[in-house]
Amino acid sequence: MTRISIDKDVCIGAGQCALTAPDLFTQDDDGYGELLPGTEDGTVGPLAGEAARVCPVQAITVT
Ligand code: SF4
């Protein structure tokens, strides 16, 4: 099982995660990255890793 998390203290709201993996991420009202409901745990595709890679501040962890 894969776990995705966003460190909200690090996120700068660049939105790259939502652009890269719109099935997993969205942006909250302030523009910060947010996981869509039900995506924290489970089987996620390769886009989760890609989103983590493109995040400019490495706020996304995929384990
Ligand atoms: S790509 Fe990174 S910095 Fe940008 S919204 Fe997503 S988690 Fe935040």
> Residue 28: what residue type?
D
Q: Is the dihedral of CA 19, 21, 22, 28 positive or negative?
A: negative
- Print the SS3 string covering 37-48: CCCCEECCCCHH
Terminal CA-to-CA distance of the chain, rounded, Å? 9
- Closest to 2 in 3D by CA, of 47, 58, 53: 47
Residues in contact with ligand 1 (CB, 6 Å cut-off): 6, 11-17, 32-33, 55-57, 59-60
pLDDT of residue 40: 75
pLDDT of residue 46: 86
Which atom belonging to ligand 1 lies closest to the Cα atom of 12?
A: 3
pTM of the predicted model as reported, rounded to 2 decimal places: 0.91
Which of 10, 12, 24, 34 for a ligand 1 pocket mutation test, highest count of atoms within 8 Å of Cβ?
12
